[in-house]
Chain A
Amino acid sequence: DAGITQSPRHKVTETGTPVTLRCHQTENHRYMYWYRQDPGHGLRLIHYSYGVKDTDKGEVSDGYSVSRSKTEDFLLTLESATSSQTSVYFCATEAERSYNEQFFGPGTRLTVL
C-alpha cells in the first residue's frame, strides 16, 4: 500500500455533525488526492493537493474541505455531514508529476445516518 494509512477505517455519524478523515503517507510523495467511491460511479475526485498548503478542488468538492499542513498528512473534512456523503473514501498519493501511477490507501467507510 506504499505506506499509506487512513483513519478511521470505519465511521458512523449523524447528519449535521462535522467529520474529519485523515490520510498519512510515509513515502514523501508530493501529490495527494481524496476520492469517494460509490456503486456505479467508480472513483470521483473530491480534492487534491500538490504540496504543503497547496490544494484545489476536484469534480465533487461541494460540502468538503481539505488541509495539508505537512507533506505526510492530508485531511478531509465534511463540515456538516449529509446522508449523500455516505460513501467509501480513498486517499491516494503520487510521487511527482510523472503521469504515472497513483498509490491508494485502504479506504474509510463512512455512514451518515
Chain B
Amino acid sequence: SQQGEEDPQALSIQEGENATMNCSYKTSINNLQWYRQNSGRGLVHLILIRSNEREKHSGRLRVTLDTSKKSSSLLITASRAADTASYFCATRNSNDYKLSFGAGTTVTVRA
C-alpha cells in the first residue's frame, strides 16, 4: 500500500521562485527520503531525513519532518528550469526495511 502521499500533485512556477511540496504518511518511520525523477529516467536520491531530525539542508533543498503530524515538506529555493521533474517522498518504516513511495509531485519550472 502507498505510505506517503504528496501534495500538490502538480506545481507550476516561474524560474527563480521557490517550490514547496508536502508529504504525509501513516505509520512510524525510521527515515523519510526524497527522490527526483526526470522524464523518462530512473529515480535519483536527493536527501534523507531521519526520524529524530526536524530539518535538513542540501544545497538549494530544505526538508522538514514533523513526526507528530506524520508529515514532511521539501522546499526547492531559487528554482531553475533543470528542476523540472517529478518528486517523490519515500518512507522507510521502523520495523520494515522496505521503502514505500508516494505518487509524486510534478514540478514545472517556466523560464
A binds B: yes
Contacts A58-B98, A101-B33 given; indicate if A41 touches B42 (C-beta within 8 A): no
Of the residues B2, B33, B99, contact of A41 by C-beta under 8 Å: B2
Q: Are A90 and B101 in contact (CB under 8 A)?
A: no
Q: Which of A87-113 contact B (CB under 8 A)?
A: 90, 92, 97, 99-107
Q: Are A99 and B30 in contact (CB under 8 A)?
A: yes
Report A-chain residues with C-beta under 8 Å of the C-beta of B31.
99-100
Report B-chain residues with C-beta under 8 Å of the C-beta of A59.
1
Report A-chain residues with C-beta under 8 Å of the C-beta of B33.
101
Say what secondary structure dominates the interface of chain B. strand
Contacts A42-B103, A43-B88 given; indicate if A97 touches B97 (C-beta within 8 A): yes
Q: Which of B36-79 contact A (CB under 8 A)?
A: 40-45, 48
The interface bits of chain B over 81-106 (1 if a CB of A lies within 8 angstroms of the residue's CB, else 0) are 00000001010100001110111100
Q: Are B48 and A1 in contact (CB under 8 A)?
A: no
Contacts A99-B31, A99-B92 given; indicate if A42 touches B45 (C-beta within 8 A): no
**CB < 8 Å A-B pair total:** 51
Contacts A58-B98, A99-B31, A102-B99 given; indicate if A42 touches B104 (C-beta within 8 A): yes
The interface bits of chain B over 10-36 (1 if a CB of A lies within 8 angstroms of the residue's CB, else 0) are 000000000000000000001101010
Report A-chain residues with C-beta under 8 Å of the C-beta of B101.
35, 42-44
B40 to chain A, nearest CB (A): 8
Q: Are A106 and B99 in contact (CB under 8 A)?
A: no
A100 to chain B, nearest CB (A): 6
Centre residue among B43, B90, B97 by max chain A CB count within 10 A: B43
A52 at the binding interface (Cβ < 8 Å): no
Contacts A40-B103, A41-B2, A42-B88 given; indicate if A90 touches B98 (C-beta within 8 A): no
